[in-house]
Structure 1
């Protein structure tokens, strides 16, 4: 998976199969763009700072780690803009417009919710597929970035 070309974008993908949750049960959690913190482990807070939830161009603030008594704001955060959403195909894409996390300024993520296997009727589970592109990050490896989300 390691990409040795320092000018090429890094691309990665992880997926998780859910045996009991269907596509139609999973999708609303992702489409609720401003409320990722309600179910995403390790995310301290998430809320809208621009536009209407789920509309193209809206921006969310995601606080990744808690602050402390002197500075209650999250120590690490990202502002993410919704750049594509397709409710029929259960896909969305977002980019990072600002962040305290060094190197993630060129980050674009895409989430696809897919039926599990040959589950055309969408009743026997689903697969969450998350992929990204990002410029290479100094001090990181592509495998290290992927491992953060796997």
Structure 2
């Protein structure tokens, strides 16, 4: 079935992080300009705005070697923090400029407690998005990228903040 040209892509990925404290995981995630500490990217830094406030813009970039390309290229994006809620432990951001093929992309990432057998057993990270189709990507490519990034993020969080016992 062919996709309609004006249709939006929507999706969500989740990962459970056993034995990882919810508040500590949130503390890592809410630091909007330190994404390079959680994901496999080369750099992430503040480009505009005030830390921890809606309107904050981060610049993220990685050098990648494409198939058949003689020289590596830098893939980059500028992302704007739209909302940060420390009570609900979620943030929402949008890509405002990039050279990756995104036209419109808004994402929400949440840190949720994970309970089992009546007690806290770690946390769960939920990453949802709404996007225009991405130039040069299939919908499944975006889902795979988010899932892979989320698992990388979960591993980094688990290493950085084991649950208090």
Instruction: Return closer, same or farther for 1:3/1:53 CA change in 2, 3 Å cut-off.
Output: farther
Shift of 1:20: 1.4
Residues 7-26 of structure 1: pairs in structure 2 closer than 5 A: 7-26=6-25
Q: Give the match's secondary structure for 2:121.
A: coil
Shift of 1:8: 1.5
Q: Is the 8 A contact 1:44 1:66 kept in 2?
A: no
Deviation digits for residues 14-46 of structure 1 (CA, Å, limit 9, x no counterpart): 111000112111101111001111121x21000
Report what 2:155 is aligned to: none
- Relative to the length of structure 2, the TM-score reads 0.77
Shift of 1:118: 5.2
- The alignment covers a number of residue pairs equal to 142
Report what 1:110 is aligned to: 108
Q: Which runs of 5+ in 1 are unaligned?
A: none
Report what 1:134 is aligned to: 131
Report what 2:74 is aligned to: 75
Q: Is the 8 A contact 1:3 1:142 kept in 2?
A: no
Q: Which has the higher helix share?
A: 2
Report what 2:86 is aligned to: 87
Moved beyond 6 Å, runs of 4+? none
Instruction: Return closer, same or farther for 1:138/1:99 CA change in 2, 3 Å cut-off.
Output: closer
Please give the root-mean-square deviation of Cα atoms over the aligned residues, in Å: 2.5
Q: Which runs of 5+ in 2 are unaligned?
A: 66-70, 148-165
Report what 1:61 is aligned to: 59
Q: Give the match's secondary structure for 2:82.
A: strand
- Relative to the length of structure 1, the TM-score reads 0.84
Shift of 1:66: 5.9
